[in-house]
Amino acid sequence: MDLGKTMKLRRNDPCPCGSGLKYKKCCLTSKHGLDLKTLYLQRYRIRLKEPSDVEGIRKAGRLVLETLDQAESSIRPGMATEEINSLVHEFTIKNGALPAPLHYHGFPKSVCVSVNEVVCHGIPGNRVLQEGDIVNVDVTTILNGYYADAGKTFLVGNVGFQSQQIVRVARESLRVGLAVIRPGNTVGDVGAAIQGYAEGEGCSVVREFTGHGVGFAFHEAPQIPHFGKRGEGVLLIPGMVFTVEPMINLGEKEIVILDDEWTVVTKDGSLSAQFEQTVLVTETGCESLTPFAL
Ligand code: MF3
Ligand code: CO
Ligand code: CO
């Protein structure tokens, strides 16, 4: 069976592991899940998670959400983005965890803070938040060796209509992406749902950065593009854990990376917003391991 093609996987289909049994009698249940685990590792380098791994990632995820809440309650006009970094760093350490961004491929801070036209990977520093700004805070935490990754875009004071609009479309883009995650759908279905929605709202989808497998490391296989065609890409199966994190621009999709080699901005200077969660593919759909209302 050709997992990479357009085929949809149903409970009564032959199992993709090649056993000859129905999928529901074979690798859909954890009893024989080892076969698919080996297959996905060998074919895609995807590391499926056991229930004990999921519990570890869920705990890390709870801490990520608490950290985002701390950041949100501190955000006010006049605050430097560096203060968000200090807060995230201290709160993470105080809770016996580590901030994954710090020194990751040379990243100099403990959290990404991305304001207005900054798409992602903003380095906290001297930039002072102004009333009317939008600010993305993207937190990745390592707790007991498990990684969870989530982010939200916050409004600084009262913001204009366009800022409200891009934040709404970015939030909804994550929601429509998560809504199609279930065994039998593919990675391409997630991207297609997000792209169809966001472009239908007159916004654009950043291509250069994707969601990603997560849990044992910061960035694992597979990549989860936020654009694409239905039915394409890897078939989703229970035990996959990955992020969905669409970066949505109010203007054109093109980006530029600044001389600091990290900060990603929109080429046209338009606003960009992003929401991210870490999710588990379950037997019936998906469960967020960093759940917040969308
Ligand atoms: N948290 C980002 C993501 O969602 C990655 C940041 S990499 C860093 O994948 F080095 F900038 F932290
Ligand atoms: Co992130
Ligand atoms: Co991520």
Percent of the chain as helix, strand, coil, to the nearest 5: 30, 25, 45
Ligand 1, pocket residues at CB < 6 Å: 101, 104-105, 107, 112, 121, 138, 140, 149, 243, 245, 276
Nearest bound ligand to the CA of residue 107: 1
The pair of three-digit structure tokens given for residue 132, joined into one six-digit string? 């009317």
Do 105 and 192 sit in the same domain of this protein? Answer: yes
Residue type for position 70: Q
Query: Which ligand 1 atom sits closest to the C-alpha of 262?
Result: 11
Q: Is residue 293 part of a domain?
A: no
**294 part of a folded domain:** no
> Are 24 and 151 in the same domain?
no
Both 33 and 84 in a single domain? no
Residue whose CB lies within 8 A of the most ligand 1 atoms, among 92, 105, 111, 138, for a mutation test: 138
> Per-residue confidence at 3, pLDDT binned at 50, 70, 90?
very low
Shared domain for 247 and 159, answered yes or no, is yes
Question: Measured from the CA of 107, which atom of ligand 1 is nearest?
Answer: 10
Q: Do 102 and 20 lie in a common domain? A: no
Out of 13, 28, 44, pick the residue that ends a domain.
44
User: So what's the pLDDT on residue 33?
Assistant: 61
Of 160, 73, 83, nearest to 116 by C-alpha is 160
Helix (H) or strand (E) holding 43: helix 33-44
Share of the chain above pLDDT 70, in %: 96
142 and 65, same structural domain? Answer: yes
Answer yes or no: do 17 and 133 share one domain: no
Q: Please check whether residue 159 is in contact with residue 133, taking contact to mean a CB–CB distance below 8 angstroms.
A: yes
Residue of 111, 120, 226, 247 best suited for mutating to test ligand 1, as the one with most atoms within 8 Å of CB? 120
Residue 39 counted as domain residue: yes
Nearest CA to ligand 1 atom 8: 101
Number of domains in the chain: 2
Q: Mean per-residue pLDDT for 113-122?
A: 99
Q: What residue numbers bound the domain in which 130 lies? A: 51-288
Query: Do 85 and 142 have their domain in common?
Result: yes
| Predicted structure pTM score | 0.92
The rounded mean pLDDT for the chain is 95
Q: How far is the CA of 111 from the centre of ligand 1 (A)?
A: 8
CATH number at residue 136: 3.90.230.10
Segment 242-261 mean pLDDT? 98
Residue 18 pLDDT > 80: no
> Do 201 and 73 share a structural domain?
yes
